[in-house]
Structure 1
Amino acid sequence: MFTNTLRPLANALLRHTVATALIAGLCTHVSATVAAEHTSKHPNIVLILADDLGFTDSAPYGSEISTPALSELADNGIKFTNYHTAANCAPTRAMLLTGVDNHRAGVSNIPEMVPPELQSHPHYQGTLGNNIVTVATLLQDAGYHTYMVGKWHLGATPDLLPSSRGFERTITLADSGADNWEQKPYLAIYEKANWFADGERYTLPEDFYSSQFIVDKTIEFIASNAADNAPFFAYLPFQAVHMPVQAPQEFIDRYMGVYDMGWTALREQRLQRAVALGIVPQSTATTIMNTTKDWEKLSADQKRYEAKRMAVYAAMVEAMDFHIARLVTHLKQTGQYDNTIFIFASDNGSEATGPANAQAAALRFALRQQGYSNDYDTLGLKGSFNSLSPSFASASASPLAYYKFHTGEGGMRVPLIIAGQPIAAKRQISHAFSFVTDITPTILELTGVTPPQVKHGKLRYGGREVEAMIGRSLLPLIRGDVERHYGDADEDAVGYELAGHAALFLGDYKLVLNKPPVGDNQWHLYNIATDPGETTDLSGVDAPRLQRMLNLYQQYEKRNDIQVMPAGFVGARQVALNGLRDRFDAQIIIGIITLIILTSFYAIYRQNNYE
C-alpha cells in the first residue's frame, strides 16, 4: 500500500526531474547560443570618463585607494602610462568624442572661461561646433544603440545637447559640475544645476548620488534594448572626483587616518608604488611644487582637517569604482560581458583650485550663501562642500608636476585602460605616447565603423563638410604590432594650447610653457619618457631640438588659429565675470562694479585719515 501510494508520486518526480534536466540543457544551449551571437557581432563599447582624476589616484597606477573594478579591467587589458589629454574638461571631451583638435572643434577652453574679446572667433565658442561629427553619430548610423549618462559640458542649447549629437538616450549635466547629492549648482555662476533627459529639462530623483545614478541609468538604457541583440556604445562621464568632492559615509570611514602623514609623504609613497608597478621608470625624480605647503608647519587641527579632505576624495574615487563594478556585474549576468570592450580614462589631471585654508571665515560665509557648509564632521556629506588644495592635488598627480589647467604632466598625463574579452592583451603596459584624439579612431577600428570620407575633394559626412580627425588608432599598440605610433618626424608632432599655457609633444620629448603665477612663462624642454616628473630642463643643452619644436609649435598655432589671451587674463576671474554677465544684465553689473570701486576708495580714505 505504501509502495502503491508513492509510485504515482515517484513517477511524477521522475518526469519533473527529466523535464528539469531537459530545460536546464536547453537553457545552457540557449545561453551558449546567445553568448556565441554576442561574440560574433560588433563589440559593445563602454567608455568611462572620470573627472579630475589624478595620474596615481587608482590602484593600477600606484594608489592606496581601493579600486578593485579598475584593477580587474587592468588585469584584463592594457594600461597606457604615457597617455595625455587636454588640461581641463570641455576641450578633452571635444577631442575624446571626435578625434579632432579641440580648437578646430570650437572648444578652445571651457565656455565659462572664454574672454568676451575672443568669442567672435569660431574656435573660441566653448561648445561643440557643427563642423565635426561625433563617434556616437558614426556608431549610431552603423546600427549601434548609443547611450550617455553624466556630464556633457559641450553646450546646453537643444542643437548642442548630446541628444542632437548622436546619442539615442541621454541623461546629462550640461554644466561644468554640480552637487553629487541633489540638484543644486556648485558655483554661484549657475542659477540651477542644468540636467537634461533626451533633450528635455530633467529633475533628479530624491535618492540621487551621482556615481550610483549614472550606473543605474546606464544599466536601464542597456536593458531597454537588450532583446534586439544590437551592439551598444555607452558613455559614462562621471562627476567623480570634480568638486564638490562628496561621498557616502561608509566609504569615507575607510580612509579616516590614512592621510595623517600628509601630502609630501603620500607623494613619495605613490612614486614608489608606481615604480614597482612599472608605471614610471626606476629613475623617476620629482619636484616640490611652489604651491605645496610645508605639512609640518600646520597646526594639529589643520592637519586633521586636511587629512579628512583627502579621505573624502579617496572615498569618492572608491565609490565610483564600486558602481563601475555594478555595471560590469550586470553585463556578466546578461551574457554581454564577453563582447564588451571597456575604455577608462580621466579628462585631465587633479584639480587644485580648493583653498589652502578651507576653514577661513570669508570662505565659510561665502559657502553659506550657496547653502553649503564645510564643517569637519559632515565633510563630504549632503550639504557639504569639499575640494582639494594644491598640496594634496600635487600628491594626487604624483610623481608628476603641475595639475589641472596647466600643461605640466600633472595636468595632462592621466590613466588610460583598454580592456575586455575581445582584447587579446592581458596585464600589459604600454609606455608609448598617446593622445586623447586617439580614442575615437580606436573605437571606430574596434567596431569596424568607417570614419568620414573625402568626397569631391572635401571631407564630408551627413551632407556637410567636417573637420578631419588628427588622432590615430591605438590598435597596433594593443596588438603588439608596434612599440609606438608617434615617432620623431615632423608630422608626428602633437600640439596643445590652453589660455596661453602651451605644449608640443614629439617622440620622447615635450616642449612646455606654463603661465604665472604657478608657471614662469618660459619654454622648457623635457624627455618625458625618462623624466616624467619634468625635473631636468634640456632647453639649454639641446638648442637644435628646442628650436625645431618651437617652430613646430608655431605651425600648430597658425594652423589652428590660436589667439593671444587678453592682457591681464586670469582664468578664475574670467569665470566670475562671465558668470555675472550671464546671470545679470549689464546695468546690474555696472552697479556692482561701481559699488566695488566706491568701497575701495572709501577704504583708502579711512586708512589715510586714521594713520
Structure 2
Amino acid sequence: MSGTDHSEDTWSTNAYTLAASNGEITNRIYGPGQFYQPDAIGDYSLDFVNNALQVHTNDKPFLLYMAFGSAHFPIQAPQDWVNTNVPVYSVGWDAVRNARFTNMLAQGVLDGRNLLSPNEGTAPWGSIPTEAIPDWNTLAADRQADLTRRMAIYAAMVQKMDQNIGRVVERLRAAGQLDNTLIIALSDNGGNFEGSVFGETGGVPNPTPLTGSSLANMGLNGQPIIYLGGGWAHVNNTPFRLFKHFDHEGGIRTPMIVHWPEGLSRTNQWEDQPGHLIDIMSTIVDVTGVSYPTQFNSHVVLPLEGKSLKPLFNSTNEISRTLGFEHEGNRAWISGSWKFVTKNFASFDGSTPTDELELYDLSKDPTELTNVASAEPVLLGQMVTNWNTWAARVGVPSSRFVNPSQLFVPVVPATNANDLFVDTFNRPDTTNIDASASGMWGTRVPPIGANAAYYEGFEGSGLPTSIQILNNTLQMAVGVGMSENGIIHNFVGQDIIDAGGFSVELTVQEINTDSSDSANRYVGFGVGMSQAEAAAGGDVGALTGIIFRGEQGNSNLGVSDFFIELDLNGNIKVWNNGTLLDTVSVGQAYGTLTASFACTGFTTNDSVTVNVFFNGLQVDINTADTNSMSRTFKWDRNNSDYIGLSARASNYTQMDNLAIRKLPLSTGLPINYAMQHGQSGTNAAPNADPDGDGVTNFAEWAFGGDPAAADPFIASLKGVQVTATHDFQFTFQRLINAANYGLRYRYFASQDFSSWTEITPTQVGVSTNEDYPGYEVVTLQLPSSAFVGINKLFLRVLAEVAN
C-alpha cells in the first residue's frame, strides 16, 4: 500500500493505493470511518504474510517493509487512544523530558557521558525565525491543554504503529516463523520541530490554542491538519540537540531494534556504534547470502554504500567506518568517535552562528555540548577535507562545500603606526559583530570600538543574522542575498591630509553563491559616504534607497564616491557614484583587495587619485588610458568620508582583516606580503625577519623574497659587469611602478664601506620574470664619475618608504 505523499491524511482511504504483484493481495474495502493508515498497513501486512506462508510453500524467504507514516505529520489518532495519554503529558514538556532522561539512565540506555542538552529553541522554518522553548509553567492554561493533546495524539500514533507491528509478530509466532525472521525496526530521523515551537494548525504556525470541541476532536477525521511543534520535539530527542533536518544527534540519531532469535547471540543488549539506513541493504545482502546486482533492467546499479551490521549481532567488536551527511546545507562527517558538524541557521539567542564549524568527541560527549574545533585544528581540517571529498563524490552541490579558509589558524596583520582602524574579526562567534572590540586597533579606536564600530545597515527583512562573526571572520549576505555595513566613523582629519591620504584593505575569502547573475555576486568597499548613507545600507534589488556601489541593470546608482569590488567572475570593478568605470579580470574570486586614496583635502571637489592592488600587485583600473593605471574622482561634499562594506551572494560571503591606514602604502603592503607567506602578528611586521636570513619583511617585499624561507641573497645584486665601452652596469629585482606602492629605491656607492655617496644610475635594460609577478629585473648603468680613477667599488641598493 502506498500513498502519493508522506504527509497524507491518515484517515483518507483515497490517499492510498494497493500495489500487489499479480493481484496476489486483494484490495480491502473500508467502510465510512473505518480506515486509519496504521491499521490499514497492519491489515495488508498480515495479508502479505499469509500469502507468503500459504501460497509460497517452498520456504522461499520473503521481505516485508512496513512503511508507517507514524509519527510523521499530520498528527492523527483515534480519540479513545488519545484520551488515555492526556494525563501522562499534562505535566508538561519539562517534567516529561527530565523523567525520560532519568529513566534512560536507570535502564542503561544512556550512561553518565550523556548530559541533558539545554534548551536551544526551535530552528527556523520558512519565514519563522528561531525561537526559545518557554518553560511549561509560563504558558497559559489553554496553551497547555492544546499542547498536551498534541503530544497525546503523537504518542497514540506510535502506540497504534506498535500494535500493528505486534499483529504481524504474533502471526509469525503462530506460524512458527518468528525465531527464523529477522525484524529490524527503526525510524528515519529525529523529532520534528516543523510548525515552530507550539506546532501548527491548518497551516498556521504557533496557532491560537484550540479549545472546547475543537480541542476534544483534535487530530480526528475532518479536523484541521496539525503538527506537533518544536517544544515536544525537544522531548522526543531527549537528551540530544536539535531536530529533524539537522545533522546534530537530535536530527540523525534514532533507536533501532533487531529481533532474530536464530541469528543473534547477543540479546537484550544496547549497542551504541553508529549505523545508517544505508546499512540495511548491506545487512540483508549479508544475512541472505545473495549477490548484490551490478545491473537491473539494463541500468547500472550503484555499488553498496553501507556496511553490514550482521557482525554486531554476535560480537561487540567495533566496525571501523566513516559516515557522511548533508541535508539542506547542514553537514556532518563521522569518523570513529569524532564528529564534524555544521547547521544552516543561527541560534535564537545569537550564541551560535550559521555554518559554525563544530567538532565533538562522541565517545566523551555524545550530546555534543563541548565544541573542540578550535583545540583540534588539524583533526578538524582532516574531517572537513574528507567531508568535501565525500560530498563531491555523491553529488552535493559545490556551493554547499566547506570553505577551506575556515580551517586555518587566523592570520592577523602586524600593528602599524599608520593604522587608523584595523579589524581582524578575531572574537567570539556572534551576530552582533561589534559586541566586543577584541581584534580591533588603530588610532581611531576609540571612538571606534565595542558597540560603536559598525552600522549593520541592511541585513534583509526579518534576518538580523545576515551579518555575523564566524570562525574569526566576517560573514555578510548570509541567507539573505545582500547586506551592507558602514563603519561608525568619519575618516577625515589633518593627520590623514598630512600623510597624503589613506588606504583600505580587505581580504575576500569566499563568495558562496549560485552562479545566477554572477556579475552581481561580489564583495567590496566604498568611500566618501555621508553618515546617513553609511548607516542605512540598501537592497540591491530595490530601485530606491541606499546602495553603496550601484546595481548593474537598473537605476539604483549608488552613493559611494568611489566603490571597489571583487565579483564571482574574478573581476575587479570600480564605480564612481554608481557608474561603472572599469572591469578588470584578475582570474579568481578570492584574495586581498587594497586601494589607496591619495588626497590633499576633504573639501567638495578636492581631487582624489585611486590606485588598486590585488594580492599586493597593482591592477590597471583605467584600461582606456595607456599612460595611467589610476582613476581620479572628486569628493561630493565637505568632510564626509564614511566607509562601508557591501556584499551580495545567494548563500554567504566571507572576509577577513579589514585595514584602514594612512598612506603611504609601503607601510601596509609589506605586512600583507608577509601574511601571504604565512606570517602573522609580530612576525608579519615590516622590520621582522621571521626566517632569520638577515633580510627584513620590508626588504623581502621590495625585492621579491620569501619571508618564510631563508633567501639571504634576494636583496643582493643579480649581476655586475663592465661593458666594452667601460660602462659599469648592475642588475637587480624590484617592484614595477614602485612609486605607486609608496616605495622608492635609492642607490649608493663607496670605495671603503665607511662613506657612501648617493648616485643616480641610468636604466639601460628591463625584463620580467613570470615566477615573480609584479616585479621587474632592471639593469642600471652608473655615471662614470662614480668609478673613474678607483680600483674597487661597493654598491648599495636601498628600498625605503617614499616621503
TM, length-normalised to structure 2: 0.44
Partner of 1:549: 383
Q: What does residue range 143-292 of structure 1 map to in structure 2 within 5 Å? A: 171-183=1-13, 193=15, 195-198=17-20, 205-206=30-31, 207-227=34-54, 228=57, 229-285=59-115, 286-291=117-122, 292=133
Secondary structure of the residue that 1:515 maps to in structure 2?
A: coil
CA distance in 2, matches of 1:493, 1:364: 38
Map Cα deviations across residues 129-153 of structure 1 (whole Å, 9 max, x no partner): xxxxxxxxxxxxxxxxxxxxxxxxx
1:430-483 Cα deviation digits (max 9, x unpaired): 12122221111111111121223xxxxxx4455442211121111111111x42
The corresponding residue for 2:242 is: 402
Alpha-carbon separation, structure 2, partners of 1:451 and 1:535: 41
Matched, 1:416 2:256: yes
In the TM superposition, 1:358-397 aligns within 5 A as 363=204, 375-384=214-223, 385-397=225-237
CA distance in 2, matches of 1:266, 1:527: 28
Deviations 1:397-446 (A, max 9, x none): 11011111111111100011111222222112212122221111111111
Please tell me whether residue 473 in structure 1 is matched to residue 299 in structure 2: no
**Match of 1:442?**
283
Cα shift at 1:256: 1.3
Aligned letter for 2:310? Answer: L
Q: Following superposition of structure 1 onto structure 2, how do residues 53-202 of structure 1 map, counting pairs within 5 Å? A: 171-183=1-13, 193=15, 195-198=17-20
Equivalent of residue 394 in structure 2, options 560, 563, 568: 560
Tell me: CA distance 1:556–1:375, structure 2 relative to 1, closer, same or farther (3 Å). Answer: same
- Mapped to 2, the partners of 1:267 and 1:365 lie a distance apart of 21
Contact 2:392 2:398 (8 Å CA) reproduced:
no
Counterpart CA distance in 1 for 2:194 and 2:29 is 27
Could you say which structure has the higher strand fraction? 2
1:105 aligns with: none
Q: Compute the displacement of 1:176 (Å).
A: 2.2
Report the counterpart of residue 120 of structure 1 in structure 2. Answer: none
Partner of 1:451: 292
Say whether the 8 Å CA contact 1:195–1:203 is kept in structure 2: no
Q: Name structure 2 gaps, 5 residues minimum.
A: 123-132, 348-352, 401-476, 481-803
Q: Calculate percent identity across the aligned residue pairs.
A: 28
Tell me by how many angstroms 1:321 deviates: 0.8
One-letter identity of the residue aligned with 1:554: N
Q: Any idea what SS the aligned residue of 1:330 has?
A: helix
Q: Distance in 1 between matches of 2:201 and 2:12?
A: 25
What one-letter code is carried by the residue in structure 1 that aligns with 2:300? E
305, 308, 315: which one aligns with 2:156: 315
Paired with 1:315 and 1:248, the residues of 2 have a C-alpha distance of 8
In the aligned structure 2, how far is the partner of 1:543 from the partner of 1:365?
41
TM-score by length of 1: 0.57
- Match of 1:484? 318
Question: Over residues 567-598 of structure 1, what are the superposed CA-to-partner deviations in whole Å (9 max), with x where a residue is unaligned?
Answer: 9879xxxxxxxxxxxxxxxxxxxxxxxxxxxx
> In the TM superposition, what whole-angstrom CA distance separates every residue of 1:490-545 from its partner, at most 9, and x where no partner exists?
xx321111121110001011100110155632110112233222111111211221
Q: Is the 8 A contact 2:200 2:226 kept in 1?
A: no
- For residues 79 and 217 of structure 2, the distance between their equivalents in structure 1, rounded to whole angstroms, comes to 9
Give the counterpart letter for 1:411 in structure 2.
G
Structure-1 residue corresponding to 2:274: 433
Query: Deviation string for 1:205-254 (max 9, x for gaps)?
Result: 33211111101101112212323132211000101111111111221122
Asked whether the 8 Å contact 1:174–1:196 carries over to 2, the reply is: no
Change (3 A) 1:366 1:204: farther
Change in CA separation of 1:536 and 1:225 when aligned onto 2, cut-off 3 Å: same
- Find the residue that maps to 1:340 and give its secondary structure: coil
Contact 1:175-1:194 within 8 A present in 2 as well: no
Alpha-carbon contact 1:500-1:565 (below 8 Å) kept: no
Residues 199 and 228 in structure 2, CA contact (< 8 A), matched pair in contact too: no
**1:64-107 CA deviation, whole Å, 9 max, x = no partner?**
xxxxxxxxxxxxxxxxxxxxxxxxxxxxxxxxxxxxxxxxxxxx
Conservation of the 8 A alpha-carbon contact between 1:513 and 1:522? yes
Counterpart amino acid of 1:349? Answer: G
In structure 2, relative to structure 1, the CA distance for the partners of 1:542 and 1:196 (3 Å cut) is same
Q: Would you say the 8 A contact 1:514–1:520 is kept in 2?
A: yes
* 2:356 alignment partner in structure 1: 522
Distance across 1 between alignment mates of 2:49 and 2:41: 12
Greater Cα radius of gyration, structure 1 or 2 = 2
- CA shift for structure 1 position 204: 6.9
Alpha-carbon distance in structure 2 between the residues aligned to 1:438 and 1:514: 25
Higher RCO (CA < 8 A, seq sep 6+):
1
Contact 1:180 1:209 survives alignment (8 Å): yes
Structure 2 residue 168 is matched with structure 1 residue 327 = yes
Note the aligned Cα RMSD (angstroms).
2.9
Bigger fraction of residues in helix: 1
Q: State the match for 1:540 in structure 2.
A: 374
- For the residues of structure 1 that align with 2:230 and 2:179, how far apart are their CA atoms? 41
Is 1:460–1:466's contact at 8 Å kept on the other side of the alignment?
yes
TM-fit CA distance, 1:361:
9.6
Give 1:82's aligned residue: none
Structure 2 residue identity aligned to 1:507: G
Tell me: CA distance 1:364–1:467, structure 2 relative to 1, closer, same or farther (3 Å): closer
CA contact (8 A) 1:172 1:195 kept: yes
Judged with a 3 Å threshold, the aligned counterparts in structure 2 of structure 1 residues 357 and 558 are, in CA distance, closer, same or farther, namely: closer
Give the match's secondary structure for 1:311. Answer: helix
Structure 1 CA distance for aligned equivalents of residues 161 and 140 of structure 2: 32
Distance (whole Å) between structure 2 residues aligned to residue 568 and residue 173 of structure 1: 37
Distance verdict in 2 for CA 1:357–1:495, change over 3 Å? closer
How many Å apart are 1:329 and its aligned residue? 0.9
Q: Compare 460-469 and 265-274 and name the one that shifted more.
A: 460-469
Q: CA deviation at 1:552?
A: 0.6
In 2, distance between residues paired with 1:414 and 1:472? 18
Match in the other structure for 2:365:
531
Residues 1:508 and 2:343 are matched in the alignment: no
Deviations 1:33-75 (Å, cap 9, x if unpaired)?
xxxxxxxxxxxxxxxxxxxxxxxxxxxxxxxxxxxxxxxxxxx
Do the aligned residues in 1 keep the contact of 2:52 with 2:62 (CA within 8 Å)? no
| SS at 1:264 equivalent | helix
CA contact (8 A) 2:198 2:230 kept: no
Go from structure 1 to structure 2 and tell me whether the alpha carbon gap of 1:560 and 1:365 turns closer, same or farther (over 3 Å shift). Answer: closer
Aligned AA (2:191): S
Shift of 1:362: 8.1
Q: Which residue of 1 aligns with 2:326?
A: 497
